[in-house]
Amino acid sequence: MKPDISNSEAVVSVEIINGDALESLRGLPGECCDMCVTSPPYFGLRNYDVEGQIGLEESPEEYVEKLVEIFREVRRVLRQDGTLWLNVGDSYATRSGPQPPMNTRNKHGHTAKSVPVGFKQKDLLGIPWMLAFALRADGWYLRQDIIWNKTNCMPESVKDRCTKSHEYIFLLSKSPHYYFDAEAISEPIAGSSTKRYLQNIEAQKGSDRQPGKSNGPMKAALPRFGGEKYGESGKKEFKTKDGGVYVPTLRRNKRDVWNISTAHFDGGHFAVFPEKLALPCILAGSRPGGTVLDPFCGSGTAGVVAVREGRGFIGIEINPEYSEMSERRIKEAAERPKKEKRRRQVEDGQLPGQMEMKFEEDWE
């Protein structure tokens, strides 16, 4: 099922496959995707009433085993320099009956829970790291654990532990060397660092208050100059580890704790992947024009971000209702740039006046 984006200005390919993740992945050609960003259903959380769904296994070990098999196929369809960005949450060993949905929009409540064999009631299962280690053992390179700090986390009434406010995103790669655009997700440095970088050190008078200093007054210093042992040039701007010119930058590498709020979504899906969470994964892990994969497509957030950023997308979703939802959202995301361009053309007087009324109607 391919969303009809023929009326949009998108030049990328988009495909939504309604089916089982493992079987659908087996139908894809090898090395057809640049990267994968996904969040599989969490263990023992919800029953979506779809045959073959992930998350209702009898044990954490069975759950992890199924996901390892699926991500083995993901590794096959990734380019040699491809990466997997995997978001997965944890759960506790507990006993409870099925819980109905909290409102009429959400149709699927929590499934009944029991303590898995080998665990004690109230144990934290450790699902994320179980899965990460299993994927590493299966051939993936486990490169990093990123902390998603939920700035608007769900309150908990627990009295014997802290409220849980984070989840993991694991960065895994197919090969030891892989595509990673650090500049695309770099962050601005602190204001104090910016001020220090931009100061004119040569014009400073300096301080004479340093006892015993005989080589002139003490001035400020920029970071990262390596010292005399780096490079043959006597000029300080060449004293870097590789002997090259040091050029101060006002940006820094993105840190591994991401402060992102959970997403609000008006559609009928519980666990919506926030667009701000998918964005840095896609920007760092894929080139413009490349193809992003999500084998647990859900409401299609990864596809929305991928299309918006000029990437192609392949999404797999077992639930037909969610597949249709993904198709609709991605189509809207692909059409929006054209509508925004038309709006700007109308405002700039580049289009005839009679089109303005029609355009506004379309926009609304």
Q: How confident is the model at residue 44 (pLDDT cuts 50, 70, 90)?
A: confident
Q: What is the DSSP string of 208-273?
A: --STT--SS-B----TT---TTS-S-SSGGG-STTSS-----SEEPPPSEEEEPPPP--SS-SSPP
Q: How confident is the model at residue 357 (pLDDT cuts 50, 70, 90)?
A: very low
Express each pLDDT in 336-356 by its tens digit.
766 665 555 555 555 444 333
Q: What is the biggest distance separating any 2 CA atoms in the chain, rounded to whole angstroms?
A: 80
Q: Is 223 within 8 Å of 243 (Cβ atoms)?
A: no
Residue 295 has pLDDT above 90, yes or no: yes
Burial class (CB in 10 A: 0-12, 13-18, 19+), 184: middle
- Mean pLDDT check: name the lowest of 163-172, 204-213, 249-258: 204-213
Across all residues in the chain, what is the average pLDDT? Answer: 80
Q: Phi and psi at residue 194, in whole multiples of 5°?
A: -60, -45
Nearest to 139 by CA among 188, 183, 173: 173
Report the alpha-carbon distance of residue 254 to residue 247 in Å, rounded: 19
Neighbours of 19 (CB within 10 A): 16
Q: Is 335 within 8 Å of 8 (Cβ atoms)?
A: yes
Q: For residue 229, how many C-alpha atoms fall within 13 Å in the half-sphere facing its CB?
A: 3
Show the CA angle centred on residue 256, arms to residues 252 and 258, nearest 5°: 95
Which pLDDT value is given to residue 113?
Answer: 78
How far is the CA of 160 from the CAs of 121, 157, 322, in angstroms?
Answer: 14, 10, 37
Which of the pair, 226 or 119, is modelled with greater confidence? 119
Report the alpha-carbon distance of residue 182 to residue 256 in Å, rounded: 12
Which pLDDT value is given to residue 65?
Answer: 97
Ordered domains of the chain (ranges, CATH)? 14-184+254-339 (3.40.50.150), 189-252 (no CATH)
Residue 130 has pLDDT above 60, yes or no: yes
Express each pLDDT in 173-201 by its tens digit.
999 999 999 999 999 887 666 666 566 55
Which whole number is the average pLDDT over 43-64?
85
Q: Which two tokens stand for residue 115?
A: 């303590």
How far is the CA of 167 from the CAs of 22, 102, 152, 164, 290, in angstroms?
Answer: 25, 22, 13, 9, 27
State whether residue 352 is helix, strand or coil. Answer: coil
Which whole number is the average pLDDT over 324-332?
92
Q: How confident is the model at residue 51 (pLDDT cuts 50, 70, 90)?
A: confident
For a pLDDT cut of 70, what percent of the chain falls above it? 66
Neighbours of 356 (CB within 10 A): 16
